[in-house]
Amino acid sequence: MKIALVQQNYHIGNFDANVGKIISGIQQAKQAGADLIVFTELCVCGYPPQDFLEFNDFINKCEAAVNEVCQHTEGIGVLIGAPRRNEKREGKRLYNAVYLLENRQIKGIVHKTLLPNYDIFDEYRYFEPADTWQVLEFHGKKLAVTICEDIWNMGDNPLYRITPMDELIKQHPDIMINLSASPYNYAQDTVRNSIVKAHTIKYGLPMIYCNAVGAQTEVVFDGGSLVYDRVGNRVKECAYFEEDFFIADLDALSKAEKAGTGQETPVFFSASEVGLGKNTLDYLSDEKNIEEIHQALVLGIRDYFTKMGFQKAILGASGGIDSALVQALAVEALGKENVWAILMPSHYSTGHSVSDAETLSKNLGNPYNIIPIKNIYDAFVTELSPVFKGLPFNVAEENLQSRSRGNLVMALSNKFGHILLNTSNKSELATGYGTLYGDMAGGIGVLGDVYKTQVYALSKYINRNGIVIPSDIITKAPSAELRPGQKDSDSLPDYADLDTILVEYIEGRKGPAEIIALGYDEQLVSRILKMVNMNEYKRKQFCPIIRVSYKAFGIGRRMPIVGKYLS
C-alpha cells in the first residue's frame, strides 16, 4: 500500500482555499499512484479556529467542505481533519475528528482523545474527548489513526490518564497514522522526532506523522512531517517552514528488521527543562536554533500579511539593532519595495544612528524617509509646560519622544495603508522597557518572543553571506536615545544575566530560590522578577507576537495584572 503524506499551509476559515489545496493534493497523490492520502488536523477549517467553533454557520461550512472533498475521492482513500458535531446530549457539542473518505463516501471517523488545555492550546473549551477507540479498516489493513496530542502522552510524567495507542494496539493495527497541527518552538523538532520514534519502538509499528505548516497570527507551524519504520528508523523528514509531499510504502516500512546506526535514544522535554542555567545563552544562540527562528519569523511575517490581505509594511528605523533586524526580516518576507522605513531623529539621536539607518535601507534597497521630531516634541513640551510646572526632565519627556514617533508612523500607516511592524524584543517586553502608545505600537510583534541575545545572533546570521546590517549597528551599545548619553544598561542589567534569568523564570517556571541557586545574586533576581510581574499591564495592551519559544507573551501566557506574587 502506498500512502501519501501532504503537508500544506491552510488559512483559518478560508474554506474555498483550504478545500482547493486538499483537492489539489488528492490529484497529486492519484497521479503518483497512492492508495491513501493523509492530511493534517482540522485542515478543512485551519488550526486553531478558536471561537469560530461556537458558530453553527462555521460548523455548517466545515461539513460542506468535507462533503466537497468527498466528491474527489474516487479510487483513493483520504484522511482529513475537521470538527464534527456530537450527536449525544451529554458533553461538549463538538469532536475534533478525522474522516476516512473513499469513493465519495465516509468510511470511518476517529475522534481526538487527548485535548490539550495549556500554553496556546484551549481545546477542552470546545471539544468532547473520545471515549471509544477503533482502528479504521482500509484495503485489508488496520489503521491506528490518532490526532496530534494523542501521541504525546509518553515519558515519566504523563499528562493524561489514557493513551489512545494503548487501546488501539489491542486491535492489532498495521500502521500508526497521526494527523497533527503541532506548532513550532526551537526544540520542537527534536522532541517530535523522539516522540514518533518512541512509538515505533514501543508498539513495533511504522508511523506516518503529518504536520501542518504556515503561520496563523502568533502561532507558526513548521511542518517537518515524519515517516518512521517499525523498528525506529526515520525514513523521511519533510521540509520545514514550507509545503511538502511524500509517498511511503507500507510494505517496506513494515518489513524493516533492525534499527539503523546513529539513531538517537528517544528523549522527552518538558517546559521546565528549558532553562539550562549558565549554559542558557549558548542554547538561545545555538546556530541551528537561530536558523530555525529566522525561518519562523520570515514565515510569520509573510503569512500575517498574505492571509490578512495586506501588502506593505512600515516601521520606525532608529539605527538600533532591533529595528534593523525587523527591517531585514520584513524585506526578506515581503520584498524590498513593500517595506517603508521611517527615520525620526530627535534632539538626542546621534548622527551615526541616522547614517546607520540610512546605510541599512540602502543595503536592503527599501524606500525610507527622514522625519525629525524636534518641532513636534517641542510643541508638546510647550503646551504641557504650564501643567508640568517646572518639574525636572524625567520619563514623561522621554516618552513624549517615543509617542511622537508612534503618532507619525501610525499617521503614515493610516494614510497609505501600510501595517506597522513592532520592533520590541522579549527582554524589553519582559521588563517593561518600552513606551505604551509609542514604540509599543504595531500590528504584529516580530521580535516579541526573541531575547536580546538572540537579536544579536539573528543579526549576525542575516550577515552570514555579506554585510546587510551595518557592523556599527551590531557592535554599538544599545540605547533608546531619549536623553543625553543614555544606554540600556542604565536601566537594565547586563543582557547576558538578564536573558538567562528571564528564561529560567518565563520558560523554565523557576522560582527565585531556584534561580539564585544557579549562582545569581539575590537582589538581581528579585529586581528582575519584580520588573516582569509589575509590567504585565503593558504586555496586555501589546500587539500579537510571533511565537518561537516554549512560552511566549500573549496567547500562551496568562498572568493576572493585579497579582502580588513576586511584585
Q: How far apart are the first and last CA of the chain?
A: 60
Kindly report the length of the chain: 567
**Is there a catalytic annotation at residue 514?**
no
Question: Are the beta carbons of 564 and 543 closer than 8 angstroms?
Answer: no
What residues are designated binding site for L-glutamine?
118, 182
Nearest to 211 by CA among 39, 439, 402: 39
**Is there a catalytic annotation at residue 112?**
yes
What residues are designated binding site for ATP?
316-323, 423
Residues 6+ apart with CB under 8 A from 248: 2, 3, 4, 5, 206, 208, 227, 235, 236
Cα–Cα distance for residue pair 193/187, rounded to 1 Å: 10
Q: How far is CA 57 from the centre of its chain?
A: 28
Q: How far is CA 235 from the centre of its chain?
A: 26
Q: How far is CA 281 from the centre of its chain?
A: 21
Q: Which residues pair with 207 in a beta bridge?
A: 176, 228
DSSP code for 219: E
Kindly state the cell numbers that stand for 313. Answer: 509594511
Cα–Cα distance for residue pair 218/445, rounded to 1 Å: 9
Q: Which residues pair with 339 in a beta bridge?
A: 313
Helix ranges restricted to H, 182-340: 188-203, 250-255, 280-284, 287-308, 321-334
Question: Are the beta carbons of 313 and 330 closer than 8 angstroms?
Answer: yes
Burial class (CB in 10 A: 0-12, 13-18, 19+), 391: exposed
Helix ranges restricted to H, 442-560: 452-462, 471-475, 495-506, 512-516, 522-534, 536-540
Cα–Cα distance for residue pair 124/92, rounded to 1 Å: 9
Strands 368-370 and 94-102: what pairing? Answer: unpaired
Residue type for 539, please?
R
Nearest to 451 by CA among 316, 281, 277: 281
3-class state of residue 160 by DSSP? coil
Cα–Cα distance for residue pair 175/1, rounded to 1 Å: 11
What residues are designated binding site for deamido-NAD(+)?
399, 428, 538
**Is there a catalytic annotation at residue 41?**
yes
Cα–Cα distance for residue pair 353/470, rounded to 1 Å: 11
Cα–Cα distance for residue pair 545/447, rounded to 1 Å: 7
What residues are designated binding site?
118, 182, 316-323, 399, 423, 428, 538
Looking at 41, 149, 237, 504, which residue is catalytic? 41
Looking at 112, 307, 312, 426, which residue is catalytic? 112
Nearest to 9 by CA among 323, 223, 224, 219: 223
Secondary element (H or E) of residue 514: helix 512-516
Looking at 62, 148, 210, 238, which residue is catalytic? 148
Question: Are the beta carbons of 30 and 266 closer than 8 angstroms?
Answer: no
3-class state of residue 17 by DSSP? helix
Give the residue numbers annotated as catalytic, written as ranges: 41, 112, 148
